[in-house]
Structure 1
Protein backbone atom coordinates (compact mmCIF):
# COMPACT_ATOMS: atom_id res chain seq x y z
CA UNK A 1 0.00 0.00 0.00
CA UNK A 2 2.83 2.39 0.86
CA UNK A 3 4.57 1.71 -2.48
CA UNK A 4 1.35 2.55 -4.38
CA UNK A 5 0.97 5.90 -2.56
CA UNK A 6 4.62 6.71 -3.09
CA UNK A 7 4.33 5.88 -6.79
CA UNK A 8 1.17 8.02 -7.09
CA UNK A 9 2.90 10.92 -5.34
CA UNK A 10 5.90 10.56 -7.61
CA UNK A 11 3.69 10.52 -10.73
CA UNK A 12 1.70 13.53 -9.45
CA UNK A 13 4.88 15.52 -8.87
CA UNK A 14 6.21 14.59 -12.32
CA UNK A 15 2.95 15.65 -13.98
CA UNK A 16 2.98 18.93 -12.06
CA UNK A 17 6.60 19.62 -13.03
CA UNK A 18 5.81 18.77 -16.66
CA UNK A 19 2.82 21.13 -16.67
CA UNK A 20 4.92 23.94 -15.19
CA UNK A 21 7.64 23.41 -17.79
CA UNK A 22 5.17 23.35 -20.69
CA UNK A 23 3.33 26.48 -19.54
CA UNK A 24 6.53 28.27 -18.67
CA UNK A 25 7.95 27.62 -22.12
CA UNK A 26 4.94 28.88 -24.00
CA UNK A 27 4.74 32.53 -24.94
CA UNK A 28 1.68 34.70 -24.70
CA UNK A 29 2.99 36.93 -27.49
CA UNK A 30 4.06 34.71 -30.37
CA UNK A 31 3.72 37.40 -33.02
CA UNK A 32 6.39 39.79 -31.81
CA UNK A 33 10.14 39.49 -32.02
CA UNK A 34 12.07 38.78 -28.84
CA UNK A 35 13.26 42.17 -27.60
CA UNK A 36 16.10 40.49 -25.70
CA UNK A 37 17.38 38.58 -28.73
CA UNK A 38 20.76 40.02 -29.66
CA UNK A 39 21.11 41.40 -33.17
CA UNK A 40 24.02 39.70 -34.89
CA UNK A 41 25.76 40.76 -38.09
CA UNK A 42 24.37 37.65 -39.82
CA UNK A 43 20.81 38.74 -38.99
CA UNK A 44 21.40 42.12 -40.60
CA UNK A 45 22.95 40.56 -43.71
CA UNK A 46 20.21 37.95 -44.04
CA UNK A 47 17.55 40.61 -43.44
CA UNK A 48 19.03 42.76 -46.19
CA UNK A 49 19.09 39.78 -48.57
CA UNK A 50 15.46 38.88 -47.87
CA UNK A 51 14.40 42.54 -48.05
CA UNK A 52 16.11 42.75 -51.45
CA UNK A 53 14.12 39.78 -52.74
CA UNK A 54 10.74 40.49 -51.20
CA UNK A 55 10.41 44.15 -50.25
CA UNK A 56 12.76 46.17 -52.43
CA UNK A 57 10.62 46.08 -55.59
CA UNK A 58 7.98 48.25 -53.90
CA UNK A 59 9.77 49.92 -50.98
CA UNK A 60 13.00 50.60 -52.87
CA UNK A 61 16.58 50.08 -51.73
CA UNK A 62 16.38 53.08 -49.42
CA UNK A 63 13.05 51.90 -47.99
CA UNK A 64 11.33 55.20 -48.80
CA UNK A 65 8.59 53.59 -50.92
CA UNK A 66 10.26 54.42 -54.22
CA UNK A 67 10.78 50.93 -55.64
CA UNK A 68 10.27 50.11 -59.31
CA UNK A 69 6.89 48.44 -58.69
CA UNK A 70 5.34 50.95 -56.36
CA UNK A 71 1.62 51.34 -56.88
CA UNK A 72 1.43 54.99 -57.98
CA UNK A 73 -1.01 54.11 -60.75
CA UNK A 74 -3.66 53.21 -58.20
CA UNK A 75 -2.91 55.99 -55.74
CA UNK A 76 -1.18 53.90 -53.07
CA UNK A 77 2.41 54.57 -52.08
CA UNK A 78 4.32 51.93 -50.12
CA UNK A 79 5.22 52.85 -46.55
CA UNK A 80 8.35 54.89 -45.93
CA UNK A 81 10.30 52.38 -43.86
CA UNK A 82 12.98 54.91 -42.95
CA UNK A 83 10.73 56.35 -40.25
CA UNK A 84 10.45 53.24 -38.08
CA UNK A 85 12.15 53.10 -34.70
CA UNK A 86 13.07 50.03 -32.61
CA UNK A 87 9.95 50.54 -30.49
CA UNK A 88 7.90 49.71 -33.61
CA UNK A 89 9.62 46.40 -34.32
CA UNK A 90 6.52 44.44 -33.27
CA UNK A 91 4.41 46.39 -35.75
CA UNK A 92 6.91 45.74 -38.53
CA UNK A 93 7.03 42.05 -37.62
CA UNK A 94 3.24 41.69 -37.77
CA UNK A 95 3.06 43.54 -41.09
CA UNK A 96 5.68 41.29 -42.68
CA UNK A 97 4.11 38.16 -41.24
CA UNK A 98 0.44 38.94 -41.91
CA UNK A 99 0.60 41.59 -44.65
CA UNK A 100 -0.18 45.30 -44.66
CA UNK A 101 -3.90 44.65 -44.47
CA UNK A 102 -3.51 43.70 -40.78
CA UNK A 103 -2.44 47.32 -40.14
CA UNK A 104 -5.56 48.67 -41.86
CA UNK A 105 -3.66 49.40 -45.07
CA UNK A 106 -4.07 47.99 -48.58
CA UNK A 107 -3.60 44.28 -49.22
CA UNK A 108 -0.81 44.90 -51.74
CA UNK A 109 1.94 43.99 -49.27
CA UNK A 110 1.40 40.23 -48.95
CA UNK A 111 1.66 38.15 -45.80
CA UNK A 112 4.87 36.11 -45.70
CA UNK A 113 3.86 33.81 -42.82
CA UNK A 114 3.71 30.75 -45.08
CA UNK A 115 7.04 31.44 -46.76
CA UNK A 116 9.28 32.76 -43.99
CA UNK A 117 10.15 31.57 -40.52
CA UNK A 118 9.77 33.95 -37.58
CA UNK A 119 13.57 34.19 -37.51
CA UNK A 120 13.61 35.27 -41.17
CA UNK A 121 10.97 37.90 -40.39
CA UNK A 122 13.03 39.13 -37.43
CA UNK A 123 16.02 39.46 -39.77
CA UNK A 124 13.93 41.63 -42.12
CA UNK A 125 12.79 43.73 -39.14
CA UNK A 126 16.42 44.23 -38.09
CA UNK A 127 17.32 45.36 -41.60
CA UNK A 128 14.34 47.72 -41.80
CA UNK A 129 15.47 49.36 -38.57
CA UNK A 130 18.84 50.14 -40.18
CA UNK A 131 17.07 52.16 -42.89
CA UNK A 132 16.35 54.91 -40.38
CA UNK A 133 19.60 56.87 -40.18
CA UNK A 134 18.86 57.74 -36.54
CA UNK A 135 18.78 54.02 -35.67
CA UNK A 136 22.03 53.11 -37.43
CA UNK A 137 24.35 54.22 -34.64
CA UNK A 138 22.35 52.39 -31.99
CA UNK A 139 22.06 49.18 -34.05
CA UNK A 140 25.77 49.23 -34.94
CA UNK A 141 26.58 49.57 -31.26
CA UNK A 142 24.27 46.67 -30.38
CA UNK A 143 25.86 44.47 -33.05
CA UNK A 144 29.38 45.41 -31.95
CA UNK A 145 28.66 44.67 -28.28
CA UNK A 146 26.62 41.49 -28.68
CA UNK A 147 28.44 39.79 -31.57
Structure 2
Protein backbone atom coordinates (compact mmCIF):
# COMPACT_ATOMS: atom_id res chain seq x y z
CA UNK A 1 0.00 0.00 0.00
CA UNK A 2 2.85 2.40 0.80
CA UNK A 3 4.33 1.78 -2.65
CA UNK A 4 1.04 2.92 -4.22
CA UNK A 5 0.98 6.18 -2.25
CA UNK A 6 4.67 6.82 -2.91
CA UNK A 7 4.20 6.34 -6.65
CA UNK A 8 1.02 8.45 -6.72
CA UNK A 9 2.85 11.28 -4.94
CA UNK A 10 5.55 11.20 -7.62
CA UNK A 11 2.91 11.13 -10.34
CA UNK A 12 0.73 13.94 -8.99
CA UNK A 13 3.51 16.37 -7.99
CA UNK A 14 4.18 17.70 -11.53
CA UNK A 15 0.43 18.26 -11.99
CA UNK A 16 0.23 20.21 -8.75
CA UNK A 17 3.38 22.20 -9.55
CA UNK A 18 2.00 23.35 -12.91
CA UNK A 19 -1.10 24.77 -11.23
CA UNK A 20 0.57 26.19 -8.10
CA UNK A 21 -1.12 23.68 -5.76
CA UNK A 22 0.42 21.48 -3.10
CA UNK A 23 -0.40 18.09 -1.64
CA UNK A 24 -1.68 18.20 1.93
CA UNK A 25 -2.33 14.49 2.33
CA UNK A 26 -2.84 11.33 0.33
CA UNK A 27 -4.44 8.08 1.42
CA UNK A 28 -5.21 4.78 -0.23
CA UNK A 29 -7.68 2.94 1.98
CA UNK A 30 -10.26 0.20 1.92
CA UNK A 31 -13.63 1.11 3.39
CA UNK A 32 -16.09 -1.75 3.34
CA UNK A 33 -15.83 -3.49 -0.01
CA UNK A 34 -14.42 -0.43 -1.83
CA UNK A 35 -10.96 1.09 -2.22
CA UNK A 36 -10.43 4.87 -2.19
CA UNK A 37 -7.53 6.93 -3.42
CA UNK A 38 -7.95 10.31 -1.74
CA UNK A 39 -5.88 13.39 -2.33
CA UNK A 40 -6.23 16.56 -0.30
CA UNK A 41 -4.80 19.57 -2.10
CA UNK A 42 -4.56 23.26 -1.36
CA UNK A 43 -2.99 26.54 -2.43
CA UNK A 44 -2.48 29.88 -0.73
CA UNK A 45 -5.90 31.48 -0.44
CA UNK A 46 -7.68 28.14 -0.65
CA UNK A 47 -8.69 25.71 -3.36
CA UNK A 48 -12.05 25.51 -5.09
CA UNK A 49 -14.08 22.65 -6.52
CA UNK A 50 -13.13 23.39 -10.13
CA UNK A 51 -9.44 23.15 -9.25
CA UNK A 52 -10.04 19.83 -7.46
CA UNK A 53 -11.91 18.55 -10.54
CA UNK A 54 -9.03 19.66 -12.77
CA UNK A 55 -6.46 17.71 -10.73
CA UNK A 56 -8.82 14.74 -10.55
CA UNK A 57 -9.11 14.62 -14.36
CA UNK A 58 -5.40 15.10 -15.03
CA UNK A 59 -4.37 12.47 -12.47
CA UNK A 60 -7.05 10.08 -13.72
CA UNK A 61 -5.71 10.43 -17.27
CA UNK A 62 -2.15 9.73 -16.06
CA UNK A 63 -3.27 6.70 -14.07
CA UNK A 64 -5.15 5.34 -17.11
CA UNK A 65 -1.94 5.54 -19.17
CA UNK A 66 -0.02 3.30 -16.74
CA UNK A 67 0.82 -0.19 -17.95
CA UNK A 68 0.75 -2.33 -15.97
CA UNK A 69 -1.81 -0.73 -13.68
CA UNK A 70 -0.24 0.91 -10.66
CA UNK A 71 -3.42 0.10 -8.72
CA UNK A 72 -4.57 -3.42 -9.66
CA UNK A 73 -8.04 -3.30 -8.07
CA UNK A 74 -11.01 -1.01 -8.74
CA UNK A 75 -10.97 2.20 -6.70
CA UNK A 76 -12.63 5.59 -6.37
CA UNK A 77 -10.44 8.65 -6.96
CA UNK A 78 -11.33 11.63 -4.77
CA UNK A 79 -9.56 14.99 -4.88
CA UNK A 80 -10.68 17.60 -2.38
CA UNK A 81 -9.78 20.49 -0.13
CA UNK A 82 -8.50 19.61 3.34
CA UNK A 83 -11.29 21.80 4.76
CA UNK A 84 -11.44 24.66 7.21
CA UNK A 85 -10.13 22.53 10.06
CA UNK A 86 -7.37 20.88 8.09
CA UNK A 87 -4.69 18.85 9.84
CA UNK A 88 -1.25 20.34 10.37
CA UNK A 89 1.23 17.59 9.58
CA UNK A 90 4.51 19.15 8.50
CA UNK A 91 6.67 22.26 8.65
CA UNK A 92 4.99 23.84 5.61
CA UNK A 93 1.59 23.46 7.30
CA UNK A 94 2.90 25.08 10.49
CA UNK A 95 4.46 27.93 8.55
CA UNK A 96 1.14 28.66 6.86
CA UNK A 97 -0.66 28.41 10.22
CA UNK A 98 1.45 31.08 11.96
CA UNK A 99 -0.88 33.71 13.39
CA UNK A 100 -3.91 31.45 13.01
CA UNK A 101 -6.14 29.76 15.57
CA UNK A 102 -5.26 26.07 15.98
CA UNK A 103 -6.30 23.03 18.01
CA UNK A 104 -3.60 20.85 19.60
CA UNK A 105 -4.15 17.45 21.24
CA UNK A 106 -1.48 16.05 23.53
CA UNK A 107 -0.49 12.50 24.41
CA UNK A 108 -0.05 13.45 28.08
CA UNK A 109 -1.61 16.22 30.14
CA UNK A 110 0.16 19.52 30.57
CA UNK A 111 -1.22 21.98 33.11
CA UNK A 112 -4.01 19.44 33.78
CA UNK A 113 -5.28 19.39 30.20
CA UNK A 114 -4.68 17.50 26.96
CA UNK A 115 -6.38 19.95 24.57
CA UNK A 116 -5.15 23.46 23.81
CA UNK A 117 -6.58 25.99 21.39
CA UNK A 118 -5.05 29.33 20.56
CA UNK A 119 -3.11 31.47 18.13
CA UNK A 120 0.08 29.87 16.84
CA UNK A 121 2.76 32.42 17.74
CA UNK A 122 5.92 30.49 16.89
CA UNK A 123 7.39 27.03 16.57
CA UNK A 124 10.74 25.31 16.29
CA UNK A 125 11.87 21.69 16.11
CA UNK A 126 11.11 21.11 19.80
CA UNK A 127 8.32 23.49 20.85
CA UNK A 128 5.09 25.16 19.79
CA UNK A 129 4.13 28.55 21.24
CA UNK A 130 0.41 29.31 21.50
CA UNK A 131 -1.45 32.33 22.78
CA UNK A 132 -4.36 30.82 24.69
CA UNK A 133 -7.30 32.37 26.51
CA UNK A 134 -7.62 31.36 30.13
CA UNK A 135 -10.89 32.79 31.35
CA UNK A 136 -10.45 36.50 30.49
CA UNK A 137 -6.65 36.56 30.27
CA UNK A 138 -4.35 35.74 27.39
CA UNK A 139 -1.29 33.68 28.20
CA UNK A 140 1.48 32.08 26.21
CA UNK A 141 1.69 28.31 26.42
CA UNK A 142 4.75 26.38 25.30
CA UNK A 143 4.07 22.79 24.21
CA UNK A 144 6.69 20.14 23.57
CA UNK A 145 6.33 18.80 20.03
CA UNK A 146 7.16 15.25 21.12
CA UNK A 147 4.00 15.36 23.30
CA UNK A 148 1.73 16.52 20.44
CA UNK A 149 -0.61 13.80 19.17
CA UNK A 150 -2.40 15.93 16.54
CA UNK A 151 -2.74 19.50 15.34
CA UNK A 152 -5.27 21.17 13.07
CA UNK A 153 -6.60 24.55 12.15
CA UNK A 154 -9.63 25.45 14.24
CA UNK A 155 -12.51 27.87 14.06
CA UNK A 156 -12.63 30.23 17.00
CA UNK A 157 -16.03 30.75 18.58
TM-score grouping bracket, smaller chain normalisation: under 0.3
Which structure's residues are more often strand, by fraction?
A: 2
- The higher radius of gyration belongs to 1
Q: Taking structure 1 as the reference length, what is the TM-score of the superposition?
A: 0.27
Which structure's residues are more often helix, by fraction?
A: 1
Where relative contact order (Cα < 8 A, 6+ residues apart) is larger, the structure is 1
